[in-house]
Amino acid sequence: MTKKLSFSYSKMGMYKECPQKYKFRYIHMLPEQPKYYFAFGSALHEVMEYVYNPQNAAFPTMEQALAFFKKHWDSTSFDQKGYATMKKEMLGYEEGCRIIRAYYGKHGSSLVHPLSVEMKSTLDMDGLSLISILDRIDYLGEGRVKILDYKTGKTIQREPDQLMMYQKVAESSPAVLNLVQALDPSVTQIKVEQMCFYHLPSLQELSFERSSDKEMYEFWQRVLGVADDIRAGKFEPTPSESKCRWCDYRNICPVFTGKEYDGPSGWGAKNPAPVSAPEQMPKSDEEVLSEKIDRLGEITAEEKKLRQEIVALMNQLGYQRQYATKYQAELKTSKKLTFADRQKVVDFLRKAHLLQKTLVPTQSRIEALLSDSSVDENLKAQLLALGQEEKIEDIEISEAN
Ligand code: SF4
């Protein structure tokens, strides 16, 4: 009997990225250098497992979750985690604490035990031994489940193959079925109703619909195709600037050395030749983009704070305009209308036969209605009375002449 191929979504991802890289990692068994973003993600996954552990009757407090995170974080050094310096490791720790505090701020009072957390599953299917970890499974009743995957990177995007792998595993796994049957013995088949990526840094949840039978069939054929290529020993390198620049195996890769890697007895067997730490290498476009977004966010927050401080000082001094060395500031006052009781506004618009005009009564549509010359002035006054007027003060900055 042929041995089953040990397979997972991440193995498939690496093979698709570069078969030669897969060969270094899984055939020659050469470990990659530690990556700080994996260490960071893994630490936060541990915290989520700790918070939602279904074995615990009570949820840990935020202080307990922070203490757990610190203990886990301190169990390895900065270089074991893949950080270039202790300072960068400290920034990672602070970011982790920020995320945990923010998570408790948003969800702390509404935590609910899921069906399972960090469920490790090994499935034997079609000659594969399929290994996967499902971060969190929530039971929705009647055999339906929601799969949630925590993301900790800077950006979040749909990863169709990962979603389909989750669907395949959850709907085929006897372990998931057993858990559901413990709650609901009448269930004979699991159906994945919803799949989500939960982005911990921004606390945003991105939901996806289940894939159709046709999509699942095509996906599984792709999986089996990759598995066949691996069994057939097809490990042709597929170099590209963006992939090779970050690859730990670059210094032993035939694309760069001009010769085949000579196996476990060679110089790179246990420890692939070190490549420069990612922090010292040219930045990828994605990193540059992230840095610019962060920088713009910081500038925007700083600008907002400065504006508020200038407005407060000008009011305090009773100034309408102030000249500085290069620029001048002029105080501008406007009014903002808000409608707190949306239902009252909708009822009024319906009664006044104005609902059709707004289509959806958003703030901007109502404002447009109030400046619409075809609307009766009396109705406008009644509508205006339903809102609250707020004085907005800001400054206009221009070059000093
Ligand atoms: S250096 Fe490039 S071609 Fe070589 S294994 Fe890495 S990604 Fe593949």
Per the model's pLDDT, the better-predicted residue between 401 and 220 turns out to be 220
Element (H, E) at 394: strand 388-399
CA-nearest residue, atom 3 of ligand 1: 239
CA of 249 to the centre of ligand 1 (A): 6
- Where do the H-state alpha helices sit in 173-325? 174-183, 213-231, 241-245, 254-257, 285-317
Q: How confident is the model at residue 2 (pLDDT cuts 50, 70, 90)?
A: low
Ligand 1 centre distance from Cα of residue 208 (Å): 32
For residue 229, how far is its CA from the centre of ligand 1 (angstroms)?
A: 18
Helix (H) or strand (E) holding 103: helix 86-107
Is-contact 383 341, C-beta < 8 A?
A: no
DSSP element (H, E) containing 383: helix 377-385
* pLDDT: which is higher, 356 or 238: 238
Q: So where are the chain's domains?
A: 302-399
| Angle at alpha carbon of residue 385, lines to 383 and 387, rounded to 5° | 85
Q: Is the pLDDT of residue 174 over 70?
A: yes
**How large is the average pLDDT for residues 367-371?**
84
CA dist 93 and 87 (Å) reads 10
Asked if residue 266 has pLDDT above 50, the reply is no
User: In terms of DSSP H, where are the helices of 111-206?
Assistant: 160-172, 174-183
Q: CA-to-CA distance for 7 and 11, rounded, in angstroms?
A: 6
**CB-based contact 131:8 (threshold 8 Å):** yes
**Helix axis angle, 377-385 relative to 363-370, nearest 10°?**
140
E-assigned strand segments in 234-382: 321-323, 327-338
**What radius of gyration do the chain's Cα atoms show?**
29
CA angle 123, 31, 271 (to 5 degrees): 160
**Residue 80, H or E segment:** helix 78-81
* pLDDT at 280 > cutoff 60: no
For residue 69, how many other CB atoms are within 10 A of its CB? 20
Q: Which two tokens stand for residue 289?
A: 């983009």
Pocket test for ligand 1, best of 25, 241, 243, 257 (most atoms within 8 A of CB): 243
Minimum CA distance residue for ligand 1 atom 7:
244
For a mutational test of ligand 1's pocket, the pick from 17, 247, 259, i.e. the residue with the most ligand atoms closer than 8 A to its C-beta, is: 247
* Residue 366: per-residue pLDDT: 83
Task: Label residues 170-197 b or e (16+ Cβ within 10 Å = b).
Answer: bbebebbbebbeeeeeebeebebbebbb
Q: How close is the Cα of 239 to the center of ligand 1, in Å?
A: 5
pLDDT digits (tens, 9 = 90+) for 106-151: 999 999 989 999 999 899 999 999 999 999 999 999 999 999 999 9
Burial of 62 (0-12, 13-18, 19+ CB in 10 A): middle
Please tell me the predicted confidence (pLDDT) of residue 360: 65
CA of 289 to the centre of ligand 1 (A): 24
* Beta pairing class for 128-141 and 5-7: parallel
- Between 64 and 379, the higher pLDDT residue: 64
- Give the position, in ligand 1's atom list, of the atom nearest the Cα of 244: 2
pLDDT higher than threshold 80 for residue 263? no
According to DSSP, the residues that pair with 323 across neighbouring strands are 328
Phi-psi region of 233 (alpha: psi -120 to 50; beta: other; left: phi over 0): left
- Nearest-10 crossing angle of helices 62-74, 86-107: 160
Structure tokens at 128: 């594969």
pTM given for the model: 0.65
Residue 351 predicted with pLDDT over 60: yes
| In contact, 35 and 82? CB cutoff 8 Å | yes
Rounded CA separation 47/100 (Å): 8
- Counting atoms of ligand 1 from 1, which one is nearest the CA of 247? 6
Could you tell me if 175 and 119 are in contact, meaning their C-beta atoms sit under 8 angstroms apart?
yes
Mutate which of 15, 16, 18 for ligand 1 pocket (most atoms within 8 A of beta carbon): 18
| Residues flanking ligand 1, CB < 6 Å | 18, 20-21, 237, 239, 243-244, 247, 249-250, 253, 255
Instruction: Using the mean position of ligand 1's atoms as its centre, give its distance from the Cα of residue 260 in Å.
Output: 12
Atom of ligand 1 nearest to the CA of 23: 5
> In this structure, are residues 296 and 161 in contact, taking their beta carbons and an 8 Å threshold?
no
Q: How many CB atoms lie within 10 A of CB 231?
A: 12
Q: Tell me which residue has its CA closest to atom 2 in ligand 1.
A: 244
pLDDT tens digit sequence for 11-30: 999 999 999 999 999 999 99
292 has a pLDDT exceeding 70: yes
